[in-house]
Structure formats: C-alpha cells, structure tokens
Amino acid sequence: MSAEGAEVSFRRPQHRLRTETSLAGIELGTVGVKPQGGVFVPAKFLVSRSDATIEAGYFQPQFGLFRDEGGFLARLLTQLSPHGLKLSDVKIERGNGTLSDLHLLCYLFEYLLTIRVRVDRVEIYCSHLTEDNKKAVTAASLDTLTCIREHIGREYRAYALSMNIHGPLEGLPARTLLARLVTTPPADIGLVTGNAVAYYLGALEERIAGSLTLDVSAIAPDGLFARPQATWDASRMPLEQFAERAETFVRRTLASFGIEIP
C-alpha cells in the first residue's frame, strides 16, 4: 500500500462492499454471532494488537526539503516539540546513496511512532496503536503532515492507510467466520489446513482504491487477523478530515462482515 507519487498499489479485480447484498456467495446478514432466537448480531473484535502505517505522496519530488535542511528542521522541531521530539530523535538517513533512500528519520513516544520524510512522500508508522495512545498518535501524525505541507507550499496528491489488526472475536472462532466467507474447495486438491479471504475495492467518493484481508491470526490464539488498506485522493479530501475518514473506513469495512470494533 502506497501513496508514493499518487500511485495506487491495489491492482486487483474490484469488488465493492455492500451490507445489503451478498458477497462471495455469503449473505452478509448471516456473518456474525448467532445468539438464541436465530438472529445474527455483529461479533465484537477484541483487538489485542494493531499497527498502522500512513503515507502521504507529493505531486512531485521535493528536493528542496534537503537543500534547506536547516529551515525545514527548525520548522519540524517547532511543530513536533510539543509531542516530545528532541534533537537526539532526529537524523538523516542516506541508505545506499540513492535519492529514493535519502530521508529524514524521527522517533516519537519512545520509538512507538516512526516518521520518515522522503523526497517523494512521508511515511508514518505506529508499531502498537491502542485506544489509550490513539489520540496522541493521531495528533502527532497530523501535525507532521501539516508541517511538511506548509513547508513545501502545496497540498499532497494522495493519502494511504494500512493496518494490521489481531484479536479474538467474542463468541466466534476466526476459522468459523472465514469458513462462511469461502466456498468448499475441490476434493481432489488434498487436505486444506486453512483459508483466508481478500477483497479488492474500487473507487468510491474520495477513495481511490482499498482492500481487506481476513485470516487466522498468528499471534492471537483462535483470533482473527484483519488488514484493511485504502488510498484517498487528497485533492478531494482535506488533510484535516483524514483521521476521521480513515477510522470510518476501517470500522465500516469490518462491519460489512459482521465484525464490530468496540
């Protein structure tokens, strides 16, 4: 998933999620927990671990960021010092010497948040996103993107979000949910030890593309792994709305499959 140069990496057949219709041969109203009385209700996704990656792509490479390192660093430190950024948390990484590897690296919140300002995009990675730190992580991320936007004097071309979410489903084993979303495999292929599903989503309003992968979690016992991804057209969605739209996308997409994040 990338917003680099506004290129979209979701190049697959497009399927739009609709809560009122069937998808992959499964009536979405039957995906969830079936309590007494025969009525399906959403299964609560008890998230035990999640990470998030945000990217913002420029319209064109911004070589000026590194020609004026002093001015840019002064602006960035001023903007992020309220979030705890110190000089010791900032360094220039040159990688193998190519322009694509050159970037400014920053750490916030005791290495919880990693920021890489590249010539062609900004990358922000939160290694452990929780309800307790979500507000601080969101504020620091938006302040970073705002600071860079002001310095280059132009809006971004595209925003992208990718998350890896793990946790058990309350009252519903992950394998049971997945079994409802896949068809029975041919008998002659041998023993099937597991399955996963992936849906690739087309353009919808400001969203350029998206995807959702569901699998059995490798770190949450009997739990679910979900990977929602999306890219948005920055010319149609102000930066100030990004956090809200991103959270709405994740919640609504999972809800389409009867999965509720409390």
User: By three-state DSSP, how is residue 88 classified?
Assistant: helix
Please tell me the distance from the alpha carbon of residue 232 to that of residue 6, in angstroms, as a whole number.
Answer: 9
What number is the average pLDDT over the span 217-238? 96
b/e code 64-75 from CB counts within 10 Å (16+ = b): ebbeeeeebbee
What number is the average pLDDT over the span 66-83? 86
pLDDT of residue 28: 42
What number is the average pLDDT over the span 47-69? 90
pLDDT of residue 226: 98
pLDDT of residue 34: 54
What average pLDDT does the chain have?
A: 85
pLDDT of residue 35: 54
- Do residues 143 and 79 touch, judged by C-beta distance below 8 A? yes
Question: For 17-26, 113-122, 150-159, 208-217, which range has the lowest pLDDT when averaged over its residues?
Answer: 17-26
Residues of the chain above pLDDT 70, percent: 84
pLDDT of residue 190: 79
pLDDT of residue 27: 43
What number is the average pLDDT over the span 206-233? 96
pLDDT of residue 182: 84
Please tell me the distance from the alpha carbon of residue 44 to that of residue 55, in angstroms, as a whole number.
Answer: 29
pLDDT of residue 42: 85
Look at the alpha carbons of 197, 202, 205, 206 in this order and tell me if their dihedral is positive or negative: positive
How does pLDDT run across 3-48, given as a tens digit for each residue?
544 443 333 333 333 333 333 333 444 456 555 555 567 899 999 9
